[in-house]
Amino acid sequence: MSVARLRRWAALVGLLLVVALMAARLGWVAGFDQPLERLELVTYDLRMQANARMRHGAEPPSTPIVIVDIDERSLQREGHWPWSRQRMAELLDRLFAAGAAVVAFDILFAEPQRNPVDAVAAALGEQPALIDAITPLADQLDGDRRFAEAMAGEEVVLGYVFSPVDRLRVGQLPPPLPLTQPALVAELGMPAEQGYTAPLPILAQAAAASGFFSIVPDADGLVRRVQLLARLDDQLYGALAVETVRQFLFFDELHLEVARIGESQQIEQIWLDADLIVPTDGHGRMLIPYRGPRGTFPYLSAGELLSGGAQDAIPDGAIVLVGTTAPGLFDLRATPMGPVFPGVEIQANVVAALLDGDFLVVPSWAKGANLVIGVVLGILLALLLPRLAPLAIALVLLVTLVLLVVLTETFWLRAGLILDLATPMLMVVVLVMHNLLWGFFFEERAERQLKEMFGQYVPPQLVEEMSEHPGDFGFEGQSKELSVLFADIRGFTTLSESLPADELKRLLNRFFTPMTRIIFDHRGTIDKYIGDLVMAFWGAPVDDPEHAAHAIEAALTMLAETERLSAEFTAQGWPPVAIGIGINSGPMNVGDMGSEYRRAYTVLGDAVNLASRLEGTTKYYGVGLVVGERTRALAGERFVWRELDRVRVKGKQQPVHVYQPVCRAEEATAALHDELAQLEAALAAYRRQQWEAAEAAFTALQQVQPTLDLYALYLERIAELRREPPPADWDGSWVRTEK
């Protein structure tokens, strides 16, 4: 399978992975939605930790919020919990005296406190006189009454809890929330509560309000959201934070913005006031925008306050939340900000969010946005990554992950909107790993096959270039313009007869090794060795716009190397060697050709046949290198050219100009240029059948170059043409019948 097809398969598999991952995130693949949801929650927690300070900075809430903590130090001072209601009343008095505007208790007062008068009376037994003497003290020592009296006329909010399972109902609930559309409650899709445990009636009636502080963690046990509304008997009740804010801001009626989904209404917003609109999920829950880790809000020890200290630490008009951090009182929760987080500080975060209008929202369009981001990003990467090298894939991975983080963080920090991050990041990582593994197991194998296929034909540096884009190369046949070279050892028959077989083998190896290296050094492709002949071509499998020039450069270097080798061979006692080289350029068919038993990467075509004929003419013209006119045109003026003839070779009807590249342009001397100018004039006279002028010109050239057989050849032709004049339409060409 070609690398191009492998990459198409890699892209297809990548697209299928994108579809599978998006389907799992939407819950369409059973068993995979929960792990993805857990992964999103982990990412959410990390973002919450990173963004809490970035979103809020060091600024405190607009309204001062103080936590009065029943901590271990308080228990050491005041004794074990529960404390007497008289001490709670004293605490309440001190808080309002210090300037508190609202005091909310994240504590349940469901059991009555036993009056000490009753305890003493029970101990006295049948002593009516003593019992009558202490009975008048009962009201004075009634802790519940004392606590209720401390609440009277003050903004105090008590807490209670709902139970979605237990139908037991203890204590007294506050009045339900006043709604602008009370009949809507029966249509809400939020689950109904079954039972409750509320404050004592005497306390509930004395308090300004009560709110539930039931906190239900997510499936992994972490508290990320809080219920703002609860439904019981088709009535709505407010959470502790909601009731605290309502008392602080004097809000009356609430308004619900709902949307019908199926047969029920889903709450989308809670309007505490026209200026305070709280976005929620369909069940009236709000994501908690934690402002920081534990201790972000100021804490005051309840025991210290009862001892008369720390009252100056309560700002005037502050909201005070009374709760506990003592481990034995079981109000420590696991949250994104830490595994041990006081429940009372959770309430503080919710109150601060409600007062500041600072919310985190998973908008109704989030699912669609997550799908679009995932699909678009997945398609782009699935199509792009198969075309990239491993280093580029790693760079794309880094850039894409950074862009995803920047995008989602911008929504979070600027608008409080929560979009998926874990799923698209997972998709990016999956696609990257898929393509890296695919490349390792499939494309790496294809590259090895490419090197195996072309390594015997193509120089190593070209194989390396090809391996960078292996999909662009193959053995499939194609037609393109190339340059082909034939190089043949002259007099090989005589040479082979003069040497033993093993000596001849050594000589040929010594000869072809440097010839092959020269061809490779000039970006050529070896076609074949046939006895004493080597065939090579340029321009395939790697495109080479300068294939003609590179072929000529290789030929000139081969001729020089042959002279050096010939001297070595002679010194070794072997016969001298000489070669003839023919080069031609033109359209050819190149590819893997042959039979099912033997195949080779080779070139075919008329231009190839002409190159073979040109190699055969080197001996006729007495030169080492002959090239066709198309090669001359492509190589241009990089070389100095000697025109040899206009000839019709065997098998060709049309005459062609043939040339000898004498040397590189920068190596030419003035004498050489003069000689070639004389040759041009001599050939012009010859083709005009001006025999005397042509004869004189070639005679003069022969004196300049007495060792060059070409000029003697033309003098012989002129003598023959004088004896047998050519026809009237003679075009100056010569017919070569030999191969």
Tell me how far apart the alpha carbons of residues 265 and 187 are, in angstroms, rounded to a whole number.
6
Question: For residue 492, what pLDDT is reported?
Answer: 83
Round to the nearest angstrom and report the end-to-end CA distance of the chain.
Answer: 42
Question: For residue 456, what pLDDT is reported?
Answer: 55
Per-residue three-class SS string for 439-499: HHHHHHHHHHHHHHHHCCCCCHHHHHHHHHCHHHCCCCCEEEEEEEEEEEECCHHHHHHHC
Q: Region 324-351: what's the mean pLDDT?
A: 92
Q: Which amino acid is it at 409?
A: E
Locate 246 and state its tokens: 């309502």
Q: Which residue has the tokens 């006031």?
A: 273
Lowest-confidence region among 310-319, 613-622, 645-654: 645-654
Using only C-alpha atoms, the chain has a radius of gyration, in whole angstroms, of 49
Instruction: Say whether pLDDT at 85 is over 90.
Output: yes
Digit-coded pLDDT (tens) for 208-254: 999 999 999 998 999 999 999 999 999 999 999 999 999 999 998 99
Indicate left, alpha or beta for 125 from its phi (over 0: left) and psi (-120 to 50: alpha): left
CB 646 within 8 A of CB 734: yes
Q: Region 610-623: what's the mean pLDDT?
A: 92
- Run of H or E including 237: strand 235-238
Tell me how far apart the alpha carbons of residues 154 and 89 are, in angstroms, rounded to a whole number.
12
Domain ranges of the chain: 3-53+391-451, 61-254+285-356, 473-668, 670-739
Q: Region 337-347: what's the mean pLDDT?
A: 94
Which range of 7-16, 152-161, 405-414, 435-444 scores highest in mean pLDDT? It is 152-161
Digit-coded pLDDT (tens) for 533-583: 999 999 988 889 999 999 999 999 999 999 999 999 999 988 999 999 999
Instruction: Say whether pLDDT at 101 is over 90.
Output: yes
473-668 has which fold? Alpha-Beta Plaits (3.30.70)
Q: Region 144-154: what's the mean pLDDT?
A: 94
pLDDT bin (cut points 50, 70, 90) of residue 585 is very high
pLDDT bin (cut points 50, 70, 90) of residue 333 is very high
pLDDT bin (cut points 50, 70, 90) of residue 329 is confident
Question: For residue 530, what pLDDT is reported?
Answer: 86
Q: Which residue has the tokens 């004039």?
A: 681
Locate 598 and state its tokens: 């033997």
CB 513 within 8 A of CB 563: no
Tell me how far apart the alpha carbons of residues 661 and 631 are, in angstroms, rounded to a whole number.
10
Instruction: Say whether pLDDT at 93 is over 60.
Output: yes
More confident of the two residues 189 and 493:
189
pTM of the model: 0.65
CB 465 within 8 A of CB 457: no
CA-CA distances (angstroms) from residue 236 to 155, 181, 212?
Answer: 21, 11, 11
Instruction: Say whether pLDDT at 165 is over 90.
Output: no
More confident of the two residues 322 and 504:
322
pLDDT bin (cut points 50, 70, 90) of residue 132 is low
Question: For residue 653, what pLDDT is reported?
Answer: 73
CA 304-308-313 angle, to 5 degrees, is: 70
Question: For residue 57, what pLDDT is reported?
Answer: 61
Q: Which residue has the tokens 């963080």?
A: 409
With pLDDT > 70 as the criterion, what percentage of the chain qualifies?
89
Locate 325 and state its tokens: 């951090």
